[in-house]
Amino acid sequence: MADGHSLNNERLEYLGDAVLGAIVAEYLFKKFPYKREGELTEMRSKLVKREQLGLLARRMHLTDLIEILPSAHAKCAGGDAFEALIGALFIDKGYEKTKKIVLHRIFTDFMDIEKVLNEESNFKSKILNWAQHRHRKVEFRHNIAEQNHRHRLYHVQLLIDEKVFAEGLEYSVKKAEQIAAERAAAKIPELCKNESDNV
């Protein structure tokens, strides 16, 4: 505590999240002038998703420089630290300088942008399309597995024809659904092989 204020990075994380989102949105808007809004949104999500930011933090050895409190979730620590770093850069250097550092130093040195953008990540849509064409019933059931004042850990079950087919565990419902859907897709031959044969 200092002057009655907790010494943590939550406020910097909040600011960094907003600044990083703006930087990536502007970058994609200019780089892909013919992409539609939905496509740009999906591309941005791939670049700023929690797993990707955590990977960047590890590659930059940022996680070696932070202290993780016992109550904190280590899984989120890298992404949180990265967002806090961007927030701090913005306060110290301003938007344009922060944008240059993110795009020309961090992304260039520590991320293969083309590879990340080309990754297939919307497994939920693949499962739903597969089920619709085969008249199968798909359902996602959500539960809160764990929570504290900062995070909720969600447990999602993916059911096909009333039977549990796969499960996912993450800190957002959407990500937990994607994990469950990815695991389900791995069990379905034509989705796994990207073929059109029947199961």
Which structure tokens are listed for 121? 């990540």
Catalytic, 83? Answer yes
Distance CA 85, CA 72 (A): 18
Number of other CB atoms surrounding residue 138 within 10 Å: 17
Catalytic residue among 13, 80, 83, 170: 83
Distance CA 65, CA 108 (A): 22
Beta bridge partners of 168: 156
If 0-12 CB within 10 Å is exposed, 13-18 middle and 19+ buried, where does residue 38 land? exposed
Catalytic, 64? Answer no
Please give the full DSSP string across 67-111, using - where no structure is assigned. ---TTS-HHHHHHHHHHHHHHHHHHHH-HHHHHHHIIIIIHHHH-
Catalytic residue among 3, 10, 13, 17: 17
Distance CA 92, CA 117 (A): 30
Which structure tokens are listed for 193? 């092989």
Smallest CA-to-CA distance from 42 within 144, 191, 178, 194 is with 178
Distance CA 175, CA 170 (A): 6
Catalytic sites, residue numbers:
17, 83
